[in-house]
Structure 1
Amino acid sequence: MSGQEPPAAGPGGGGPAGPSGPGETAPDETPKDGAAEESEERDQPQDAWAARRDLVDHSPRTMRVGSRSGFGGGYTEGDQHGVSGGRVTGDVVMGSKTVHHWSIPGLSTAASASGEIPRATLERLAASFVTADGTFDDLVDRLRRDRVLVLSGARFTGRRTAALMLLHRVGATPVLALDRDTTPGSLADRFTARGDDGGDGTDTGAGTRTGTGPDTGRARGYVLCDLSTRRGNALRETHLLGAADRLTEQDAYAVITVGPTAVLEDDVSAADWRPPASEDVLAAHLRARTTGETAEHLLGLPDVKEFLDHGHQLREVAAFAQLLGRYAAGEVTEQAVAEFSLVSLENQVQEWFEEDETVVHLRDKAFLIALAAFDDGPYALTAELSDLLYGFLQQTENRSRVPEIPVFGTHIGKRLQLARAGRHEAEEHTEWGPVTQTKAAFHDERASLVLLREVWTGHPSARPALVAWLRRLADDGRPLVRTRAASTVAVLARTDLPSAMALVIEPWATSDRFRHRLVAVNSLTLAHHICTPNIPRILDDWSTAEDRRLRWVAVRAYALIGPERPAQALAALRDATRALYRRFGDPADPDHFDVEMARELAEAVELLLLSPAGDEVLAGLLARLDDERAVRDLSLGGFVNACRRTEGDDRRSGTPLVLSRYARAPDDDGRAAAQGISRLWREALGDPQYTGHALAVLRDWVLIASRSTATEWALAALLPTLVTTPTEHQRLSHLLRTMPGEDGNPPPEVAGRLLSTLPPR
């Protein structure tokens, strides 16, 4: 998002340090001809302030550092977090993957083989079984009445356990598991057992049948998990009626579980399974394993509360209860308890990408990756760009294959269920203001980081497709898309810096397109934000590189990560400015001087001044203000640029950020900062190269003061400190007496009031 920005102050006769005019190129770049030259002219560098605003608005929640003002906005009210501040993703998520494996005895999710469920397993499940509400009794009554019940629910929500408990509640024994390859049409044939088989001719190994069926007055139970249905092979009412007849003959009961997208005829009424709360399940499992007092103690542990906050599946909750029981018995350490949440998430991500396409289709894997990049972003955008990635992945598998993207048929609920994600309505920043959109986000915000790490390091064969996809995203016209490309690469860099630099960041940084270079800037900035090592070293090297494009990237990035190391950032910017002046000579000669780079350097100082380290930056500028011309131009250009910025980016009524900082100085022991602001104002007004720009900014401040009493009071306090000589008095009084009002009107009344604050000379 790049709105109209006022011209920046910079070296070169005091004029705007803007880009080269039509037909001109940067001094050390090769001229371009024809269409390439025209394309380059349209691709102008985005204003640094607007670029930072986009980075703040569109960074993912794992890298978000506060409001626009908070993102390096040290002179603003509210959040005070620099780009390196806020919440940082630690090594616990981005470090090397912890390899652990866990299992839940008796609760295998791959219950595909036929056979009898051991009675001991049913008793153990019953001891810790809980339900979400009172509907379970209704399901029991329905099963008793109909003999067969279809239970619909998402994977890993306890639907299989619920099916077994329904059979247990009606007194069915034994309970036989049917092969999931059973089709709707062959359902009734499975319920023919009167001898020693599992209902499909398979020996159950249960021995002599006792206490089963009508011969003994005890009912048999059948459970069929994940009945396979598809178009043309739906589960029909006739299938269930036939099954019910066979079950009645045997005095047996059956529960069939299906997913929420199973193909059922309209006359088939499936019962919805709503899983109980994770906390209730964990408490029930702990009470079954330990004493009530021990269970309450375990539930109160911080690591246990954190586990529950991450929205784990019930199979993981059951496994966690196992681990806690061992912890209570002294068999495992506290560290194992603390690590379990992340380990289970890593296992889930690994499971997604190791499953074959019959379980998790390649298109679903592409969606998972896209959701990791666009977590908590608009769902439609995520789905759109996941299909783009899907095409690249298909070409990686088979170069001769033409990518095929199904247009319809993908169910949003199924996709999000697989991804363990949800959707919600929320505002999204756009060029035209906030708009409400349907967003998709992982339930566990760590999932995006873990998933991207797994894909990049665990599946290197996916890298060509992923890199091609990221390069396409960097060309997208939407700021959100480009920012998420950068944040994705930042995670890849945190995982494997050399590969990310060689394959993605360096090609962007050396691109002739400013758009690509800006994505490289944001990638390095966000990578540093999540503690990727060596980013400052890279910038230090690039700031003095022969390649002008690398120097441009370094300058932009210094402005964003500089608040945490302001002295080093200022020193690097001063060195870059000195080198610029040595290379191109007099900035007053725009035909030979690199005006664009000079503007970038001034804008970098501007952002540093408006960062949480603003006071330290201000002191650093004052300390070197009397150095050579290059350093003075850098300081004054950056300062005047900073004075143009207002809270909320509203240039008509927003309080100027630098003026707001000056007004707060007496209240926060910032007198040195106030004195520094006054001095820089006097220097800018008195320097022929900056006088015009400085007076223009003061005129804007006066116009804002005509609409804001707070601004008028702050300006009335500042103006007297700017008058130490007759020349300074004459300059300001002339401005206040002659400045036009808005739309060519006479000077506003506030100008007269401010004139009266000037000390007489």
Structure 2
Amino acid sequence: MSQEPAAAAPPAGEQAPQDAEQEEQEAPERKRQEAWAARKALIQHGPSFVMSLGRTTSATQVGRDQLGVSGGTVHGNVNNYFGGVPARPEHLSGVIRPEEITQLAEVFRGCASFEKALARLRTERIVILSGGRDTGRCSAALMLLHRATDGGPVRSLERPRSLSALPDRLDRAEGYFLEDFTADRSSPVREPQLLGLREQLEHSGGHLVITVEPSTALDDVPFVRWEPPPPEEMLHAHVTSRIGEAGWRELCGLQQVKEFLAGQHQPVVLKEFAQRIVAVHRGEADAQVLTEYSERAIGAQVTRWLTDGQRELLEKAFLISLAVFDKAPYAVAAELGDALYAGLQHTADPGKPPVIPVFGVFREDRLRSAHARGYLDTEVTEWGVVGQYIAEFQEERTARTLLETVWNLHPSARPALVEWIDRLAEDRRPLVRTRAASATALLATADFSSALAHLIEPWADGRNPDSWLMAANALTLADLLGVKTVRPLLRDWCTGEVESRRWTAIRAYSLLGPTAPEETLDVLLDSIRQQPQPEPVDEDEEIPESVHQFADALELLLLAVREPVLGRLAECLGRERTVREHALLAFLKACRQAEEPDGRPLVLHWYAQARAGAEPDTERHLTVFWKALLADRTTNDGALDVLSGWVRRADGEPETESALAALLPAVTAEPPNDRRVGHRLRGLRDSPPSPSPSAARLLDLLPRSS
């Protein structure tokens, strides 16, 4: 038998140029992803260091939201004292383990807001605790219930859509904890809901604490604002529970401790610093460890991880993968970490094939070695919510420090890292693609020129719109992370002649719109005006891709910023033909979007809110747009299809029919809109086998000429 080896396949992430070109030519054309769906995927799957930059409480609200989400939960034995960043509970109802509350009680110290909340809980059996994230509001809630129930069981409740759904669950004489409930201004917490809850609690003998963000809409209902104890008291509680009052007096005068307390620290950081104080007191470490703590300690730990000759390359690859997929499913980080290892191994020793122990790594040991933790949580997918085992670093700054260190201090790893991120960008999972963009954004903060040359520009110059979206997402996140060179680059690309780069810049501008809406709209409109005057489009002719690009950008800006953009675009409808075409298509796209999870049409709900909230300008602008949609020959069919969907939804939803009952007479006051809408409603009314009753009622509201 011949001993000559067969031709080796290229390593992971590497492909012969001619093969890649042929594969690209033979690949089927991908379906164009909707801009709003792509935006939601970016927000939904972004890592914590990106999410924290946003200012909104919901990624899918119409109102002035930015890239980001909010909320924080607490679970496990790291819950001892304040809550904050530690691992979170499963989003399922269940009794919290008594030993967790016992550990918390050992270090908990009250304060004025705690005593006020406890008094209200004992007399009224329900209290809403409002406070910022990472302030210990959740741990305070557990201690409130522990005290009010005299050490009785405490049950964590699954978060309902409305407080009205809670009374049936409060049927036992125990403490109930509803963590991080959210309510927006369209559906605020109201006093009748609390009265119903209090009545049920008095009947069952239970107590309920609800924690909320300060931004939660509370319709004049009583609440207690959570103000945690001073940092010195928190640190004192942790230290004295371990080494007593004498040990604290011995160490609290150290300069390192005084400097630490002079800063603002999250409760979890205070807890970890207390552990080092205890180690110094017991002679297990010297005072130098206190000086090295915080940022320098994280950097030192990362350096030790990467340069430790005893740590296998496979585990170093996992660390880098976990930095990209921090607070994401462990299985994804592990799977893709193995792929990165293959590339790194090829760099280290091209002649040695990578060997991956398929069943040889114990998950908990691996996480412990990475100073990470795992917990059960849920992941939102396009098919619904699924359970996942999530992995995250114990110190949230580790992920960013690790990626920056690899990129800047270990450039030999760059080729494999770039190939790996490119592979992530082509993954079919939205989470993976989004994390590839966010990792690139972090690398851009460390070395913008290199990240641009190795990743962003190749994506922007690619032939596939999916790669353009990757470049746009990466630039968007880099700008949000403070890279000042992004905006000049976007302005240059937006007015340049390279179509793919122009598309990339337009999409990035639309995503960044809420951070600077006036500037963004000006840039987009100027770019539209500089485009060649479009030829009239026949009804059966496909709309040019360039028009779709600008319409997508305006759609995202319109839904995220709302009235300021709506008003400016409405002014352009009758004055600028070029802008009108793009604005109408953008508004039509926006009308097709729906809220999650109830599926309410975003624009129709916006119209109903404007009428209810006495916002005549918004109501008028939305009506003007709808009149223009129905009157324009290129958009009237699409507009009528949207109305048909709304009418069908109104058959089972009175709120939708009520909004349509106000909108349709306003947009059909003049011909030919009255005839077009009337014809469509009659078709729905008489449609076999399921005629629409709401269409019949709405038809009666139109002018008789329809």
2:56, 2:636 → 1: CA distance?
Answer: 28
1:68-83 paired onto structure 2 within 5 Å = 73-75=60-62, 81-83=65-67
1:724 aligns with 2:669: yes
Q: Say if 1:281 and 1:314, in contact at 8 Å, map to a contact too.
A: no
Query: What amino acid does structure 1 have at the position aligned with 2:301?
Result: Q
Query: Structure 1, residues 191-212: CA drift from partner, whole Å, max 9, x if none?
Result: xxxxxxxxxxxxxxxxxxxxxx
Q: Describe the shift of the 1:428–1:84 C-alpha distance in structure 2 as closer, same or farther (beyond 3 A).
A: closer
Task: Determine the structure 2 residue equivalent to 1:204.
Answer: none
Q: Describe the shift of the 1:452–1:282 C-alpha distance in structure 2 as closer, same or farther (beyond 3 A).
A: farther
Query: Structure 1, residues 130-176: CA drift from partner, whole Å, max 9, x if none?
Result: xx99xxxxxxxxxxxxxxxxxxxxxxxxxxxxxxxxxxxxxxxxxxx
1:710 aligns with 2:669: no
Task: Determine the structure 1 residue equivalent to 2:327.
Answer: 376
1:293, 1:407 → 2: CA distance?
Answer: 49
1:52, 1:543 → 2: CA distance?
Answer: 19
Task: Determine the structure 1 residue equivalent to 2:243.
Answer: 284
Identity %: 36
1:52 aligns with 2:39: yes
Among candidates 396, 404, 407, match of residue 358 of structure 2: 407
Q: Say if 2:584 and 2:629, in contact at 8 Å, map to a contact too.
A: yes
Q: Secondary structure at the match of 1:610?
A: helix
Among candidates 457, 477, 480, match of residue 526 of structure 1: 477
Task: Determine the structure 2 residue equivalent to 1:115.
Answer: none
Q: Describe the shift of the 1:43–1:644 C-alpha distance in structure 2 as closer, same or farther (beyond 3 A).
A: closer
1:73, 1:726 → 2: CA distance?
Answer: 36
Query: What amino acid does structure 1 have at the position aligned with 2:420?
Result: W
1:739 aligns with 2:687: no
Among candidates 622, 625, 632, match of residue 573 of structure 2: 625
Query: Structure 1, residues 287-340: CA drift from partner, whole Å, max 9, x if none?
Result: 436369979x97995847626447638774557989xxx99xxxx9xxx99994
Task: Determine the structure 2 residue equivalent to 1:348.
Answer: 301
Q: Secondary structure at the match of 1:750?
A: helix
1:312 aligns with 2:272: yes
Displacement of 1:417 in angstroms is 0.9
1:573, 1:304 → 2: CA distance?
Answer: 41
Query: For this pair of structures, how many residues does the alignment match?
Result: 521
Q: Describe the shift of the 1:571–1:403 C-alpha distance in structure 2 as closer, same or farther (beyond 3 A).
A: same
Query: Structure 1, residues 507-554: CA drift from partner, whole Å, max 9, x if none?
Result: 111111222222112111222222222322222211122211111212
2:69, 2:49 → 1: CA distance?
Answer: 12
1:104-183 paired onto structure 2 within 5 Å = none
Displacement of 1:399 in angstroms is 2.9
2:402, 2:237 → 1: CA distance?
Answer: 23
Q: Describe the shift of the 1:462–1:36 C-alpha distance in structure 2 as closer, same or farther (beyond 3 A).
A: closer
Task: Determine the structure 1 residue equivalent to 2:562.
Answer: 614
Q: Describe the shift of the 1:527–1:287 C-alpha distance in structure 2 as closer, same or farther (beyond 3 A).
A: farther
1:676 aligns with 2:624: no
Displacement of 1:569 in angstroms is 2.3
Q: Describe the shift of the 1:338–1:661 C-alpha distance in structure 2 as closer, same or farther (beyond 3 A).
A: farther
Question: Unaligned stretches of 5+ in structure 2?
Answer: 1-19, 72-102, 105-234
Q: Secondary structure at the match of 1:429?
A: strand
Q: Describe the shift of the 1:293–1:452 C-alpha distance in structure 2 as closer, same or farther (beyond 3 A).
A: closer
Task: Determine the structure 1 residue equivalent to 2:488.
Answer: 537
Task: Determine the structure 2 residue equivalent to 1:237.
Answer: none
Query: What amino acid does structure 2 have at the position aligned with 1:522?
Result: N
* RMSD of aligned Cα (Å): 3.8
Q: Say if 1:278 and 1:314, in contact at 8 Å, map to a contact too.
A: no
Query: What amino acid does structure 1 have at the position aligned with 2:62?
Result: Y
1:438, 1:647 → 2: CA distance?
Answer: 28
Q: Say if 1:56 and 1:65, in contact at 8 Å, map to a contact too.
A: no
1:282, 1:626 → 2: CA distance?
Answer: 72
1:66, 1:710 → 2: CA distance?
Answer: 34
Q: Say if 1:426 and 1:438, in contact at 8 Å, map to a contact too.
A: yes
Q: Say if 1:279 and 1:308, in contact at 8 Å, map to a contact too.
A: no
Q: Secondary structure at the match of 2:596?
A: helix
Query: Structure 1, residues 268-291: CA drift from partner, whole Å, max 9, x if none?
Result: xxxxxxxx9992479638843636
Q: Say if 2:538 and 2:634, in contact at 8 Å, map to a contact too.
A: no
Query: Structure 1, residues 83-104: CA drift from partner, whole Å, max 9, x if none?
Result: 27879xxxxxxxxxxxxxxxxx
Query: What amino acid does structure 2 have at the position aligned with 1:58?
Result: H
1:642, 1:67 → 2: CA distance?
Answer: 22
Q: Secondary structure at the match of 1:624?
A: helix
Query: What amino acid does structure 1 have at the position aligned with 2:476?
Result: T
Among candidates 396, 405, 409, match of residue 458 of structure 1: 409
Further displaced range: 492-501 or 285-294: 285-294
1:746, 1:572 → 2: CA distance?
Answer: 48
Taking structure 1 as the reference length, the TM-score comes to 0.62
Query: What amino acid does structure 1 have at the position aligned with 2:306?
Result: F
Q: Describe the shift of the 1:312–1:692 C-alpha distance in structure 2 as closer, same or farther (beyond 3 A).
A: same
Q: Say if 1:376 and 1:440, in contact at 8 Å, map to a contact too.
A: yes
Task: Determine the structure 1 residue equivalent to 2:203.
Answer: none
Q: Say if 1:606 and 1:641, in contact at 8 Å, map to a contact too.
A: yes
1:338, 1:705 → 2: CA distance?
Answer: 64
Displacement of 1:596 in angstroms is 1.9
Among candidates 510, 515, 519, match of residue 559 of structure 1: 510
Q: Secondary structure at the match of 1:438?
A: strand
1:495, 1:566 → 2: CA distance?
Answer: 27
2:583, 2:670 → 1: CA distance?
Answer: 22
Q: Secondary structure at the match of 1:434?
A: strand
Task: Determine the structure 2 residue equivalent to 1:37.
Answer: 25
Further displaced range: 514-523 or 62-71: 62-71
Question: Unaligned stretches of 5+ in structure 1?
Answer: 1-31, 88-131, 134-275
Task: Determine the structure 1 residue equivalent to 2:231.
Answer: none
2:290, 2:611 → 1: CA distance?
Answer: 51
Task: Determine the structure 2 residue equivalent to 1:601.
Answer: 550
Task: Determine the structure 2 residue equivalent to 1:476.
Answer: 427
Q: Say if 1:375 and 1:448, in contact at 8 Å, map to a contact too.
A: yes
Q: Say if 1:467 and 1:504, in contact at 8 Å, map to a contact too.
A: yes
Task: Determine the structure 2 residue equivalent to 1:271.
Answer: none
1:575, 1:587 → 2: CA distance?
Answer: 22
Query: What amino acid does structure 2 have at the position aligned with 1:312?
Result: E
Taking structure 2 as the reference length, the TM-score comes to 0.66
Q: Describe the shift of the 1:346–1:317 C-alpha distance in structure 2 as closer, same or farther (beyond 3 A).
A: farther
